[in-house]
Amino acid sequence: MKNVYFVQANNVYGNERRSVYIPYASGCIAAYAFDNDKIKESCSLAGFVYTHMPLAEALDFVSNPFVVAFSCSVWNYEYNKALASAIKEKYPECAVIFGGHNVLRDFETFEECPAVDYLIYREGEEAFRALLLCLLEGKSPETVENLAFKKDGKYFKTEEKAFCLSEYPSPYLTGVFDSIISQDVNFSAILETNRGCPFKCSFCDWGTLGSRIRPFPMERIQAEIDWIAAHSIEYVYCADGNFGILDRDEEIAEYIIETKRKTGFPKNFRVCFTKNRTDFVKKICMRFNKYGLDKAQTLSFQSLSPVVLENIGRKNISLEHFHTLMAEYSRCGISTSSELILGLAGETKESFTKGICNLLEYGQHKAIQVYTCDLLPNSEMGAPEYVEKFGIETVKAPFSQAHCSALEKHEVQEYNTAVIKTDSLSSEEWIECVAFACLVQAFHNIGFFRAVALWLRNECGMSYFDIYSKIANLSKQNENSACSKVYRLISDFASGMSRGENGWAVPCEGLGDICWQFDEIYFMKTLEIADEIFSELETAFSQISDKADELRAVFGYQRAILKRTGQGGKIAVESDYDFYNYCKRIYEGRYAPLEKKKMLLTVTDNNVSETLFDYACSVVWYGRNQAAALYSSDCYSPEILIKD
């Protein structure tokens, strides 16, 4: 029997309770290949390398291989090249195959890693099986579509073709993962209910494939959900690009809910919802929220600039409809999150900073995620002509995954290609945009300053852009201020990334041995000196408001509802103004003026975070979507007593 190995090195998440994804992509390739009788008779599925295990250990694990197939992504590409080289040196006759998102559809990978014999483009199931049969029969693979190979010192590329099958065998149900699922590992799972994407966003490599959506059989999906529950897998990520785009997705959602009710698993089911069926998606999201499967609905924009949207081939829902949805979700107690990408073609410093604040203006107070624009190898944006047209400049930044161990240094450093300059955004402006975004995320979304900002916006007539620009300017102009201390720290991280010295997630003193996003660090470091920063900001904003009593009261309320380290038990917040209902009405899109009423807010907090690291994990990481940094959040079941 000839040994066939698969390598899909995934990141390990967490600190004490560590988890890793099942190598689903490789499993799909293996399941389809070994569904063939000749392959099944001739080959043995010898195993998976599914973490960045030391190269020497991985080389020992791979024994007398006939084929080693690598699934290549941004988080494992350099590791794959290093391991492939080591395998080829030890086993020169072994066929080394690369496929996946990080493999360019040309011959560049052959130059980067001479150990590679074959490249598979696009989806890999059919090409891999056909290639493996050619290798077993000693035939040349010229007839295998979506393939590049070396022969007699030359490179050859076969015809590209979009496959259309939707009944591939399941890696879960065919026993492909039986050899690893019994290991003492906390696995997370991938569920794929359909494949394909109808949209053509230039920053994404799915659009270039030009493939229609192909639904997988419902019987397979339900059986896979049963398998996941039977193996007590807690966290499941849905690989669909647009969950909710098909009517049957409601039936899938109900099956997942019913499975959790019966078995307790999965505990969490994270999806990327489609963007154009908001009412249908809301119905599914409310059901997921009720049963604790997915507590946040994502409503992404990527950019709010019409120029950028034209350049990236994207159309968003209107901001007016977005505002309505924000209010409805808030009234239903469902958290929402919106995404922006920094560095897209045509984005300026003004359009980006005003864009993030416009999300606040239209009701997204609780969660905005900002990502760097990464140049994906097979996206439209990654094409040389697109890069030249928009003056795109990139940096090869160390790839670092948030909430993964910072101490677990891999032998091989991975990199992502981050856009840090375009013809409309200088690298210096890019750094300023990063710092401003992190300020808004930490102060408003996570909650350090949110109640005050709501009051300033609605009672003093300041826009959110003016509010946070004032704080940013205060932080930049007074280097001796407490605000400046944190702002400069984040600016330094952003500057380091622009030079390729660090990634988008970094370790930070006092925050344990895992990597954190810049905005999370901004919040945690602000929390450490909260009283100093509150004092500075109260002084700064008192100069522009003639409502001195309300200003003092809202700062007092903000201080009181902010959870601190070492704090717990019975919490009581008193005020002469009803700030709780005032903020709640704003979230729900039904503003009413602040009322002067004696208010008592009480909560019981049984989760005491004694250290900043414990707080960072439980409140900022795990509890962010539930606004766990604020005692006014529904997650604390606040009780309100109005005394007047």
pTM above 0.85, yes or no: yes
Q: Is the pLDDT of residue 536 over 90?
A: yes
Helix ranges, 47-187 (H) = 55-61, 77-90, 108-112, 125-137, 178-181
pLDDT > 90 fraction of the chain, expressed in percent and rounded: 69
Q: How far apart are CA 322 and CA 334, in angstroms?
A: 14
CB 483 within 8 A of CB 449: no
- Which residues are paired to 21 by β-bridges? 188
* Mean pLDDT value of segment 399-407: 78
Q: Is the pLDDT of residue 167 over 90?
A: no
> Domain map of the chain by residue range?
2-157, 185-193+205-294, 295-563
* Separation of alpha carbons 256 and 260, rounded Å: 6
Contact, 162 vs 155, CB < 8 A?
no
Give the whole-angstrom CA distance, residue 236 versus residue 612.
29
The per-residue pLDDT for range 271-319, each reduced to its tens digit, is 888 877 878 888 898 899 888 887 667 777 889 899 998 988 877 777 8
In this structure, the strands spanning 65-71 and 2-10 are parallel
Amino acid at 55: L
User: Is pLDDT of 10 > 70?
Assistant: yes
The per-residue pLDDT for 403 is 86
Looking at residue 12, its pLDDT comes to: 81
Report pLDDT digits (tens) over 418-460.
999 999 999 999 999 999 999 999 999 999 999 999 999 999 9
Q: Which helix (H) or strand (E) covers residue 508, if one does? A: none
Average pLDDT, the chain: 91
pLDDT at 18: 74
Of the pLDDT bands very low, low, confident and very high (cuts 50, 70, 90), residue 234 is very high
Residue 643 has pLDDT above 70, yes or no: yes
Query: Which parts of 103-168 fold into alpha helices (H)?
Result: 108-112, 125-137
Distance from C-alpha of 103 to C-alpha of 112, rounded to nearest angstrom: 11
Helix (H, G, I), strand (E, B) or coil at 491: helix
Q: Which tops the pLDDT comparison, 575 or 13?
A: 575
pLDDT of 408 strictly over 70: no
pLDDT band at 211 (very low <50, low <70, confident <90, very high): low
> Cβ atoms within 10 A of the Cβ of 1, count?
10
Q: Give 288's contacts (C-beta < 8 A, 6+ positions apart).
A: 253, 257, 269, 294, 295
- Inter-residue contact 7 to 48 (CB < 8 Å): yes
Write down the pLDDT at residue 299: 76
In this predicted model, what pLDDT tens digit does every residue of 541-564 receive, in sequence order? 998 878 999 999 999 999 999 999
Is residue 180 within 8 Å of 50, Cβ to Cβ? Answer: yes
The pLDDT value recorded for residue 316 is: 76
- pLDDT confidence tier of residue 348, bands split at 50, 70 and 90: very high
Judged by DSSP in three states, 21 sits in strand
Sequence-separated (6 or more) residues with CB below 8 Å from residue 577:
550, 553, 554, 557, 594, 595, 596, 597, 599
Pairwise CA distance, residues 544 & 456, whole Å:
10
- pLDDT by residue (tens digit) across 27-62? 999 999 999 999 999 999 999 999 999 999 999 999
Please, are residues 243 and 273 in contact by the beta-carbon 8 Å criterion? yes
Helix (H) or strand (E) holding 196: none
| pLDDT surpassing 60 at residue 15 | no
| CATH, domain range 2-157 | 3.40.50.280
pLDDT over 80 at 205, yes or no: no
Q: Which of 220-229, 321-330, 346-355, 450-459 has the lowest mean pLDDT?
A: 321-330
